[in-house]
Structure 1
Amino acid sequence: MSAARDQVESWLARASSDEVELEEAIGDLDDYRDEVLREAKAEVVAWLAKKAREGEDIGVLASKVDRGAIRLFLDIDQ
């Protein structure tokens, strides 16, 4: 898991003494993360499809990814 998620989990644990409530909050946090990553993945796929239709060279796309112009989201449960 990510350091950010671990930190939020730690905050939730301190704020709640109810283990069931804590587990529900952690589950909600994971669901939110998955939703954001699914949306990001859909945007990346749409961008790549658009660039493919435009005949964009794979080297140009790789350069854009390398510079951070586009990020790939591969860690998604679907």
Structure 2
Amino acid sequence: MAEHHRRQRGLCFPGSRIRSHHGAGTGHVEQRIGLASAGRIDLAPSITDRIPLADAADAVARPEKRIGDPMRFVRTP
């Protein structure tokens, strides 16, 4: 993992990036990814929305403007 991704509190996978805030550190995100990869937890029910990459600016504004339920959303290509 590139150091600049750690500073941004995100994880980078080929073609994907996982970002965290609301007090969760990189270690917490890595732990959840490990549990999900092992099939021990299913994160799908916690995703509140899927937003097209073309609407990335809207996706970034959602938590700040409290639009919808922006707890966990995924930007899709």
TM-score of the two chains, using structure 2 as the length reference: 0.26
Q: Which structure dedicates a bigger proportion of its chain to helix?
A: 1
Structure number with larger C-alpha Rg: 1
Q: Which structure dedicates a bigger proportion of its chain to strand?
A: 2
